[in-house]
Amino acid sequence: MLRNELTEFLHIEYPIVQAPMAGGVTTAELVAQVSNSGCLGMVGAGYMTPIQIREQIREIKRLTSNNFGINLFVPNEFNVTENEMELANQILQPFRDQLNVQPNEPLKIPHSNDAYETLKEQIMVVIEEKVPVCSFTFGVPTKEIIALLKKHNIILIGTATTVQEAVAIEEKGMDLVVVQGSEAGGHRGNFIGGFQESLVGLMSLIPQVVDHVSIPVIAAGGIMDGRGLMASICLGAKGVQMGTAFLTCTESGAPRVYKEAICKTTEDETIFTRAFSGKWARGIKNKFMLDMQKHETSLPDFPIQNTLTQSIRRAATSQKNLDYMSLWSGQSPRLAKNQTVETLIKNILSEAKKIIRNFKN
């Protein structure tokens, strides 16, 4: 009943993609279980080394013979001086003291080139391991990368937050586009316009994008159940990408305190912050986000700030201290449950069937 050009193209049964959440959430178990359930599991590999990627891909292949995908970050330009970096580092010291974390080693400004080199190495693994699907966030990869991946018949997915970005993704020859609504948790994927302008709700974003591209559109942001799936399809999307709904599943690698925090949160308790990574992202409001609000706009860009806060986030996680963890979540936490992937997908499908049945009457 839910088969369409998207499911056919991705060789999946149901038009549901598990969002490629970076930072340890997308375990091999989660990805494989999603793919085994007839949906598309995705590895959030943005922060992973080529070696880690290869290991995880091989583990997933042992657990499923179905299609799955991987997500990589397109490097963004950043400008930072050593002084700015040192200042940003000093701002973080009280948080390190609080968590008994060692001060950072003297910091060197990374080269923009390094990130491109990493991306190329990541992509070589994707090609060698014949990963069927590769999605990108934070921009569109270069012509050369797109051509290389296409030569190896890898399905390419871009991430857009506006009509203009979706059109650019189609023009560059990508096969599918994920549209990220303002409801979405985690990092914003905007790469042409500004952050504020990229905050378009899915009720507005889906139909306006659908009217301007011919590649299939996958909706992302706040979608948690069969109601969100069917609503997205009504608006013209061919499928959905769900993050928070999978993050709280048993198979996800998110720490237990993080899963519990989402399940206890309400729709009006997530806000945007640059404090953790230098890039705007939506998460559950906590002490770190509030304390850092006064520095918000002067912090260094991604990935500099991300590197600076790494030890804080790690220590907070190992100390189960929610005050200083990055608790990314979309705007529908009241719909989150700690359940198995199998139960989640079964419920989505039965809800979708019920909605269709009601329309038939």
Residues of this chain that interact with its own copies (CB under 8 A) are 162-164, 181-183, 193, 196-208, 211-212, 219, 221-225, 227-228, 230-232, 234-236, 266-269, 271, 330-332, 334-335, 355-356, 359-360
Please state the closest distance from residue 142 (CB atom) to its own copies, in A: 25
Q: Is 57 or 284 the residue whose CB approaches its own copies more closely?
A: 284
Report, in Å, the least distance between residue 102 CB and its own copies. 35
Maximum distance among all Cα pairs of the chain, rounded to whole angstroms: 68
- Which residues neighbour 49 within 8 Å (Cβ) at sequence distance 6 or greater? 118
Q: Which is nearer to its own copies, 124 or 163 (CB)?
A: 163
Nearer to its own copies, 198 or 252 (CB): 198
Q: Which is nearer to its own copies, 173 or 236 (CB)?
A: 236
As a whole number of angstroms, the distance between CA 169 and CA 186 comes to 21
Question: Is the Cβ of residue 7 or residue 317 nearer to its own copies in the bound state?
Answer: 7
What CA–CA distance (Å, rounded) separates 83 from 37? 51
Q: Which amino acid is it at 222?
A: G
Distance in Å, CB of 113 to its own copies, minimum? 31
Q: Which residues pair with 187 in a beta bridge?
A: 281
The Cα–Cα gap between 326 and 289 comes to 9
CA 156, CA 123: separation in Å to the nearest integer? 12
Interaxial angle between packed helices 50-63 and 112-128, expressed in degrees from 0 to 180 and rounded to the nearest 10: 30
Question: From the CB of 301, what's the least distance to its own copies, in Å?
Answer: 21
**Strand positions, DSSP E, 117-266:** 133-137, 155-160, 176-180, 186-187, 217-220, 239-242
Q: Which is nearer to its own copies, 99 or 335 (CB)?
A: 335
Distance in Å, CB of 68 to its own copies, minimum = 25
Least distance to its own copies, CB of residue 124, Å: 35
Instruction: Output 15 or 46, the one with its CB closest to its own copies.
Output: 15
Q: How far is the CB of 184 from its own copies (least distance, A)?
A: 9
CA distances from 22 to 7, 98, 139, 252 (A): 24, 26, 16, 11
The region, left, alpha or beta by phi > 0 then psi within -120 to 50, assigned to residue 278 is left
Please tell me whether the peptide bond between 110 and the residue prior to it is cis, using omega within 30 degrees of 0.
no
